[in-house]
Amino acid sequence: MLSAQLEAYLAEINLPATAEQKKQLLDFVGMLNKWNKAYNLTSVRDPEIMLVRHIMDSLVVSIHLQGDRFIDVGTGPGLPAIPLAIMNPDKTFVLLDSLGKRIRFQKQVAFELGIHNISSIESRVEAYQPEQKFDGVLSRAFASIHDMLTWCHHLPAEHGQFYALKGQLSDEEMQQIPAGFVVTETIELKVPKLDEQRHLLKIIKE
């Protein structure tokens, strides 16, 4: 059932996937559902809804990624980074979260599903000082755009950019973008089976 739905959704967003990638995505949903009972990783309880709200909601960003090295800030159980890492084996993703149980889950996912291009770090974003900066700083449902840019300003490389995944965009939030940052692109995303607004903002430092 889930397998057929995933096939249809991937076709709808025109994202080709190997049999192995599809299996990893479905196995990730399975692990999320199983661990959720004890760890309370997400408020979504139904695997079919997880497939839409977590997997596809992450994957619609895939074609917009530029660069090789990414960090997912406030990643929770690994969203959007784990689905994106599965579909982009040539890119690397650092998953940053301050809660140990989420980090343990991510590491188990990497181990069980054989995902070799992610690494998980338990830290608050303000305290995390990487030796190597990132081509892209991702955040999904992490904070307001103002807070994201304030807390993550030290993470992008010289030509790196921020990818803010948002639902509805409010004028108020857009007006609170701190000085020194510029929105270069606002992309309306269409998630299969999700009748809600989704946007991707690409932002750079001036």
Does residue 124 have a known ligand-binding role?
no
Cβ–Cβ contacts within 10 Å for residue 196, how many? 9
3-state helix, strand, coil in the chain (%, to 5): 40, 25, 35
Task: From residue 89, give the alpha-carbon distance in Å to each of 85, 114, 135.
Answer: 6, 11, 16
> 3-class SS at 62?
helix
What tokens does 41 get? 């990783």
Residue 76, annotated as binding a ligand: no
116 burial (CB, 10 Å; 0-12 / 13-18 / 19+) is: exposed
Q: How far apart are CA 128 and CA 112, in angstroms?
A: 27
| One-letter amino acid of 4 | A
User: Is 69 annotated as belonging to a binding site?
Assistant: no
Q: Check whether 149 is labelled as a binding-site residue.
A: no
d(CA 168, CA 111): 35
Which tokens go with 74?
């406030």
| Residue 79 annotated as lining a ligand binding site | yes
Q: Which residues are annotated as a binding site for S-adenosyl-L-methionine?
A: 74, 79, 125-126, 140
Q: Which residues are annotated as a binding site?
A: 74, 79, 125-126, 140
